[in-house]
Amino acid sequence: DKLLPFAFVSHTRFFARNFENQFGTLAHTTQLGGGLQYQFSLRFSLNAFYATSPLGKNYRAYQSLSLGTRVIL
């Protein structure tokens, strides 16, 4: 059994065509966060993390708290 802290940074761009039918960046956002993962075994773990979106263009800022599982069959 292990308790592992982690941090992450991600940047996402959203692409689309505008009214003049030109392809380009519609919006973008940067997400920052961190959390904890508890690993029960090599095949099963639980994680909980917090994320915030402090930077972006044409994209709403938000915060999230997530709980997840990972199972390897």
pLDDT at 25: 73
Residues 40-50 have pLDDT tens digits of 998 999 999 99
pLDDT at 34: 96
pLDDT greater at residue 23 or residue 8: 8
Q: What is the rounded distance in angstroms from the CA atom of residue 57 to the CA atom of residue 63?
A: 16
